[in-house]
Structure 1
Amino acid sequence: IQKAGYATDPNYANQLIQVINDFGLNLYDMNGDVVGNDVIEKAIEAGMKWVGKSPYVWGGGRNQADVDAGRFDCSSLVHYCYASAGITLGPRESVTTWSLINMGKPVPASEMKRGDLIFFDTAGRNGHIGIYLGNGKFLNDSSTQGVSIGDLNSAYWSRYFNGNVRRVVE
């Protein structure tokens, strides 16, 4: 680009890459469609349909009636999302954040990607979980917001994010 005379700033390429990453432009193709792993996208899509429509229910989501009605807690929402995409994260009836912390493989927080499981110390160590969406955002079911999109950069979530990240799908 620089040799063709379109960019004169030696940092142009790095700045452009930063803008692409900051605004999540790398998550879409030329038609505006989301790109990426189909399993991860299907899991996220399953959870996104409940955003703003499902209150938090502690212990919910562990039977079919709860799932059909959208009654989840944080761990059962994550389980439901991945089960909807064909990935079983242990038995639905007994899923907890503590069972999910052993799923997949650990990943440094600096390398987390869309679809990774991320953990928080809200109700004790690893007491809350969400699915990382990218750009600091994550899907979760919180006791105050229900199924919603959280922001790792917010004062609340940045205080409780403990750096534990698990990758269950490559």
Structure 2
Amino acid sequence: MNNQLFTTISIIGVIWFLNGCSNTPENSSYANSTGSFPTVQTDHAMKKIYNEWNGVPYRWGGTNKSGIDCSAFTQIVMLEYSQTNLPRTTHQQVNVGSKVAYSKAKVGDLVFFKVSRKQNHVGVYIGGNEFMHASTSKGVIISRLDNPYWADAFWHFRRVN
């Protein structure tokens, strides 16, 4: 009985961990396909971070330039941008800091999405209605919050510093 319970709990834990970042389709007509930073005035440090990571492929559980997932990307961005240590998973990051109204979002705020009943996604707001994130289909890119997919999945912003 104990082995069966342990196996069940282990399987549930693996499933929970796998759902930390989502499989998010990206509509290229809404993504910033130029690979350039948006024209809005923003922090030079954020632009530098994006330029260093632009195009790095998505890899579930990845934490480096060989491949990275969404929560590892936000963890690295926030450490480089504001010396803020974030927990590793989206599930943990969603509990850090405080919620921010859409109209009050600032460069460096985390932006969270509910892409399905059990899957969440996270990126970093860069201003101008855009955010950078590790997309499962395109790697590290900039996307627009008014993209119908992201607008529908939008959950909330969080300020962590």
The match for 1:56 is 58
The aligned runs of 1:60-71 (5 Å cut-off) are: 60-61=62-63, 67=64, 69-71=65-67
Is the contact made by 1:47 and 1:77 (CA closer than 8 Å) also made in structure 2?
Answer: no
Distance of aligned partners of 1:128 and 1:43 in 2 relative to their CA distance in 1, 3 Å threshold: same
The match for 1:140 is 133
- By percentage of residues, which structure has more strand? 2
Q: Deviations over 1:44-91 (max 9, x none)?
A: 532431112x11101111xxxxx2x3421000000011122422113x
Relative contact order higher in (CA < 8 Å, ≥ 6 apart): 2
Letter in 1 for 2:130: K
Q: Tell me the distance in 1 between the aligned counterparts of 2:80 and 2:107.
A: 17
**2:114 corresponds to 1:121:** yes
Over the matched positions of the two proteins, sequence identity in percent amounts to: 32
The match for 1:131 is 124
Normalising to structure 2: TM-score of the pair?
0.68
Look at both structures and tell me which one has the larger radius of gyration over its CA atoms: 1
- Segments of structure 1 that go 5 or more residues without pairing to the other structure are 1-22, 28-33, 62-66
The aligned runs of 1:129-168 (5 Å cut-off) are: 129-162=122-155, 164-168=156-160
Normalising to structure 1: TM-score of the pair?
0.64
**2:96 corresponds to 1:103:** yes
The match for 2:14 is none
Q: Tell me the distance in 1 between the aligned counterparts of 2:49 and 2:74.
A: 10
The match for 2:84 is 87
Letter in 2 for 1:108: A
Equivalenced residues, count: 122
- Segments of structure 2 that go 5 or more residues without pairing to the other structure are 1-38
